[in-house]
């Protein structure tokens, strides 16, 4: 079973790491194709180093660009490499342009496709991620759904039952494998002069938020309101693109501690010790849930519906007042939810399923 792992962004590297480890452990023939969608050291290379992953055999270096340009470049490069390598199966994870283009390339070449984290839906077609995840699911031969809810969504879209496998989410594996390492290796709390459970952590990068001045401004005002109301630090590791839009819109950020992007281990320590996380990232909604940290989602919807159902997360949108209101609600709740994303053995489970398919 020759396996191609196609990835291109920070979250994909982190969530694919347990699968790569499972492939290595089982002695399975595989290679990594990196699209280069994320291409700075802090957003890419450092994760391979920290997670002790083998280097990508190929890197397409597609960089930034419009959705069409980025997807086209990945398709062109992936076609060439997959034709030469002839893998039996291509694995992709999530909802980025790298995921969709990788799945489409393999599908059109007659190569089997496995989609890790299948069946997530926000039902908001204005989000490019929603389009990517739907199309990747419908290209896939093996759909690895993290939860029974995701499986029901796939069945409702007419995907045959025999293609769907409930596996849990590899983010549980990644957090379990790396949390103790993170605590021993990083000094981020002392570097930032913050105390455990006495600061708010922010992540904010989605284009529907940071590319729209009114939404970005309203969120920033809400974060400044948190500083005034709670009198504790608000830490925002800011993505280069978000910083660029902040400057372009001339938004004033006094009171918010803007820091450069941090690596996975540093982020894990900051996240696990936060009083509360405010985010527009789907992955961070999952991580905070697993780490038992309350979350406020700075979006109008979420595809991580399980987090809402069990009470570890709440949707605030981008209204300044709603951000404050939802923060108060989450801080009044007990952190007693049960993680819905599995037991930390998802990577091994996925590889065992594929070995069963290919080897009988």
Distances (CA, A) of 280 to 80, 260, 315: 35, 18, 10
* Total tally of structural domains belonging to the chain: 2
User: Are 156 and 9 in the same domain?
Assistant: yes
Q: Residue 284 falls within a domain, yes or no?
A: yes
Distances (CA, A) of 20 to 87, 110, 219: 15, 23, 37
User: Are 197 and 287 in the same domain?
Assistant: yes
Give the pairing type, strands 3-7 and 89-93: parallel
118-163: per-residue pLDDT in tens? 999 999 999 899 999 999 999 999 999 999 999 999 999 999 999 9
Judge whether 205 counts as a catalytic residue.
Answer: yes
Q: Which residue in 38, 197, 205, 328 is the catalytic one?
A: 205
Residue 297: CATH number of its domain: 3.40.50.2000
Q: Residue 337 falls within a domain, yes or no?
A: no
| Residue 360, pLDDT above cutoff 90 | no
User: Are 20 and 148 in the same domain?
Assistant: yes
User: Are 85 and 102 in the same domain?
Assistant: yes
User: Are 139 and 187 in the same domain?
Assistant: no
- Indicate the pLDDT class of residue 333, thresholds 50, 70 and 90: very high
User: Are 131 and 194 in the same domain?
Assistant: no
User: Are 16 and 144 in the same domain?
Assistant: yes
User: Are 215 and 303 in the same domain?
Assistant: yes
Sheet holding 30-34, edge to edge: 58-59, 30-34, 3-7, 89-93, 112-116, 142-145, 164-166
User: Are 227 and 270 in the same domain?
Assistant: yes
pLDDT at 39: 63
| Residue 256, pLDDT above cutoff 90 | yes
> How far is C-alpha 223 from the geometric centre of its chain's CA atoms?
23
User: Are 181 and 324 in the same domain?
Assistant: yes
pLDDT at 42: 56
pLDDT at 359: 83
pTM greater than 0.95 (yes/no): no
87-112: per-residue pLDDT in tens? 999 999 999 999 999 999 999 999 99
| Residue 174, pLDDT above cutoff 90 | yes
215-250: per-residue pLDDT in tens? 999 999 999 999 999 999 999 999 888 999 999 999
Cβ–Cβ < 8 Å for 90, 111: yes
User: Are 147 and 193 in the same domain?
Assistant: no
**What percentage of residues in the chain have a pLDDT greater than 90?**
88
Give the domain extent around 247: 177-332
Please give the Cα distance from 103 to 165 (Å, whole number).
Answer: 18
User: Are 194 and 241 in the same domain?
Assistant: yes
Q: Residue 348 falls within a domain, yes or no?
A: yes
Q: Taking all residues of the chain, what is their mean pLDDT, rounded to a whole number?
A: 95
**What percentage of residues in the chain have a pLDDT greater than 70?**
98
Q: Give alpha helix (H) positions in 140-204.
A: 148-156, 170-185, 188-192
Structure tokens at 132: 């990517």
Q: Give alpha helix (H) positions in the chain.
A: 10-26, 45-50, 67-85, 97-108, 128-139, 148-156, 170-185, 188-192, 207-210, 213-230, 240-248, 264-272, 282-290, 305-309, 320-332, 346-359
Structure tokens at 58: 């190929």
39-53: per-residue pLDDT in tens? 665 556 788 888 889
């Amino acid at each position: 079973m020759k396996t191609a792992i196609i990835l291109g962004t920070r979250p994909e590297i982190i969530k694919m790491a347990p699968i790569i480890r499972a492939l290595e452990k089982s002695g399975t023939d595989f290679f990594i194709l990196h699209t280069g969608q994320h291409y700075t050291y802090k957003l890419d290379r450092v994760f391979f180093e920290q997670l002790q992953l083998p280097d990508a055999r190929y890197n397409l270096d597609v960089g930034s660009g419009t959705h069409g340009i980025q997807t086209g470049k990945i398709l062109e490069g992936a076609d060439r490499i997959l034709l030469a390598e002839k893998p039996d199966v291509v694995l992709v994870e999530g909802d980025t342009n790298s995921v969709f283009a990788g799945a489409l390339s393999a599908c059109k070449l007659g190569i089997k496709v496995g989609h890790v984290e299948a069946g997530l839906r926000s039902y908001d077609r204005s989000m490019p991620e929603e389009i990517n995840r739907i199309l990747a699911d419908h290209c896939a031969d093996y759909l690895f759904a993290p939860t029974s809810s995701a499986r029901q969504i796939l069945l409702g879209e007419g995907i045959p039952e025999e293609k769907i496998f409930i596996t849990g989410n590899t983010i549980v594996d990644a957090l379990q494998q790396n949390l103790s390492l993170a605590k021993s290796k990083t000094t981020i709390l002392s570097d930032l002069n913050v105390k455990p459970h006495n600061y708010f952590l922010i992540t904010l990068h989605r284009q529907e938020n940071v590319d729209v001045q009114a939404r970005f401004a309203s969120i920033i005002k809400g974060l400044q309101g948190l500083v005034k109301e709670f009198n504790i630090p608000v830490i925002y590791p800011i993505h280069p693109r978000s910083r660029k839009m902040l400057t372009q819109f001339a938004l004033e950020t006094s009171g918010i501690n803007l820091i450069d992007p941090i690596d996975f281990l540093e982020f894990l320590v900051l996240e696990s010790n936060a009083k509360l996380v405010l985010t527009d990232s789907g992955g961070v909604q999952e991580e905070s849930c697993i780490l038992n940290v309350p979350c406020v989602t700075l979006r109008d919807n979420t595809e991580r519906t399980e987090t809402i159902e069990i009470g570890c997360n709440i949707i605030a949108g981008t209204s300044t007042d709603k951000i404050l209101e939802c923060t108060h609600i989450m801080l009044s709740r007990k952190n007693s939810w049960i993680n819905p994303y599995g037991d930390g053995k998802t990577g091994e489970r996925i590889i065992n399923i594929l070995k069963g398919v290919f080897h009988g």
